[in-house]
Amino acid sequence: MDRRAVYFYTLPGETVCAGLALDVHIHGEMLRFFDTIRGHEIPGEVMAEDENGFNFISTGYRPGEWRFDVLTVEEFRRDHYRRVEGGEALAAVIKSTDGLHQWYRREFGI
């Protein structure tokens, strides 16, 4: 888990992205993250991590296994640009995943 990364996540039993997660970290026994509107704090535990993200078992809101994947510039260009005002123009100028994550942190004050 990388606190500086931007993740997209799916909820238990679903296959489509439920939202984006910024400033993702564990605090005590809670997973904390911010979407582009507000903060979240979900009880549970990280079950597995890999180079693309991690699986989290929620024991609170929407219990079950959540999947968090790093939002890459390729994934942003393929789908997630639609979720951002001016996303098409942004997708054309952002050159790297790190640059994309920096933009999100700067834009949303994280």
> What per-residue confidence (pLDDT) applies to 4?
96
Q: Examine the pLDDT at 84 and tell me if it is beyond 90.
A: no
Nearest to 38 by CA among 53, 54, 20: 20
CB under 8 A, 24+ apart: contacts of 63-66: 63/12, 64/11, 64/12, 64/13, 65/12, 66/9, 66/10, 66/11, 66/12, 66/42
Q: In this predicted model, what pLDDT tens digit does every residue of 32-61 receive, in sequence order?
A: 999 989 999 999 999 999 999 999 999 999
Task: Say how many C-beta atoms besides its own lie within 10 A of residue 5's C-beta.
Answer: 22
Q: In this predicted model, what pLDDT tens digit does every residue of 20-33 receive, in sequence order?
A: 999 999 999 999 99
Q: What string of DSSP letters covers 13-60?
A: T--S--EEEEEEEEETTEEEEE-SS-EEEEEEEEEEEETTEEEEEESS
